């Protein structure tokens, strides 16, 4: 990461943008636009930032598959020893497809179906993060029918404000996630009476894009107190899952490093006298700043009110700005003279006024230029759609001076292939 760009391994050379040793204009020419371009070195650096010595306990880093689920990226993290946090049968199947043992998979989510639970139990996953009493009862019934004991962890809602966008805040009483902190002890005692369940852990996840430590530490303190209460009534846990949510730099944020979060968490565990294994579920912090979305400028359209830079990527390719009003950096892959710069809204081709990628940006740009939308690795392609019957973009992976396709561009025939 440089001071100029938040994306790791993104540099300017000879008036052009490079990702590692590859000119991004060359990527656009070879693979077309829109295209998601990932840096292998940046992905590996991000993983290394989560590797940390944790005294005599184990620590598992569970990559949140929802952030970016491309098989090549899952495989890269699997080779580094990752566990995986999943929220659907499809995500579990993706992880299994790259050869990850099922006992490195955690299954979260508020609406696990009977089919999904049976599939996860049959595969032999590490544990279920249970989000409600009805779900607990459903898992027990299915496990009993299959002659199994389901490993479970309760997701506890600590009622802590993550100080992030309300759509990605998940740890308040008003949110749909988890079991209320005030109810958790009783629910654990209920679970202990169900023969189809094996209590193995406890979990929380308070939100996403959290850029300060205090919400994490507030939630941890509540969770650690609950773990001690559980021990007092004879319920011993094997692991404590402190969730994900650590933010990244998109604009001028200064989020804590993973090492700071891990060290503070370990300190809290020691002060509480707890010896359980530790788990984290990072997603965004592993992939966001390892990727750019390349998009071509189709038209520059001045109007009485503002200037529009109209590009070939839209909200169907990158939903975050439209959905969350998220700020995404934008840079021209050709570094032009600043004297031609104007203020633009960067907008896409979709027939919605909300179809925008960036607003009020000063850009030196010409028709036909390729722009890089920065920090696009998390919740980018994984949230893409076929709205307006637009084929989804290709994904490519840069490795030094080489680049390869890791998901081919959809054709229109692909878009309607399942229709009758």
Question: Catalytic residues, which ones?
Answer: 351
Going by C-beta distance under 8 Å and a sequence separation of 6 or more, which residues neighbour residue 139? 112, 117, 121, 128, 130, 150, 152, 196, 197
**Alpha-carbon gap, residue 31 to 236, rounded angstroms:** 54
Query: Residue 273: what are its φ and ψ, rounded to 5°?
Result: 70, 30
CA 198 to chain centre: 28
Cα–Cα dist 283/85, whole Å: 9
Count Cα atoms within 13 angstroms, Cβ side, for 116: 18
């Amino acid at each position: 990461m440089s001071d100029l760009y938040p994306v790791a391994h993104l540099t300017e050379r000879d008036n052009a943008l490079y990702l590692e040793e590859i000119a991004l204009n060359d990527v656009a020419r070879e693979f077309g636009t829109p295209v998601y371009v990932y840096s292998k070195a940046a992905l590996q650096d991000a993983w290394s930032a989560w590797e940390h010595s944790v005294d005599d306990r184990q620590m598992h880093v569970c990559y949140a598959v929802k952030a970016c689920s491309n098989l090549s990226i899952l495989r890269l993290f699997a080779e580094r020893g990752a566990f995986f946090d999943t929220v659907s049968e499809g995500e579990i199947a993706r992880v299994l497809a790259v050869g990850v043992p099922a006992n490195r998979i955690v299954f979260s989510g508020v609406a696990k179906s009977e089919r999904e639970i049976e599939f996860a139990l049959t595969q032999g996953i590490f544990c279920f993060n249970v989000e409600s009493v009805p779900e607990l009862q459903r898992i027990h019934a299915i496990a009993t029918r299959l002659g199994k004991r389901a490993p479970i962890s309760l997701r506890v809602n600590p009622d802590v404000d993550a100080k992030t966008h309300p759509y990605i805040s998940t740890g308040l009483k008003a949110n749909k996630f988890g079991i209320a902190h005030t109810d958790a002890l009783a629910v654990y005692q209920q679970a202990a009476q169900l023969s189809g369940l094996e209590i193995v852990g406890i979990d929380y996840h308070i939100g996403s894009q959290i850029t300060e430590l205090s919400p994490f530490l507030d939630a941890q303190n509540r969770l650690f107190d609950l773990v001690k209460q559980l021990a007092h009534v004879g319920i011993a846990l094997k692991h404590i899952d402190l969730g994900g949510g650590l933010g990244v730099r998109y604009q001028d944020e200064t989020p804590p490093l993973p090492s700071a979060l891990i060290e503070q968490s370990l300190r809290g565990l020691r002060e509480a006298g707890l010896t359980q294994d530790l788990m984290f579920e990072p997603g965004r912090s592993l992939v966001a700043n390892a990727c750019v979305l390349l998009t071509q400028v189709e038209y520059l359209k001045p109007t009485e009110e503002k200037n529009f830079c109209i590009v070939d990527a839209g909200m169907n390719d990158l939903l975050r700005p439209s959905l969350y009003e998220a700020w995404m950096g934008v840079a021209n892959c050709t570094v032009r003279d600043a004297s031609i710069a104007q203020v633009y809204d960067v907008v896409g081709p979709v027939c919605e006024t909300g179809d925008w990628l960036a607003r009020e940006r000063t850009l030196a740009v010409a028709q036909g230029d390729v722009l890089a939308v920065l920090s696009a690795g998390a919740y980018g392609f994984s949230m893409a759609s076929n709205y307006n019957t637009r084929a989804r973009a290709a994904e490519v992976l840069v490795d030094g001076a080489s680049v390869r396709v890791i998901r081919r561009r959809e054709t229109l025939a692909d878009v309607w292939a399942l229709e009758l």
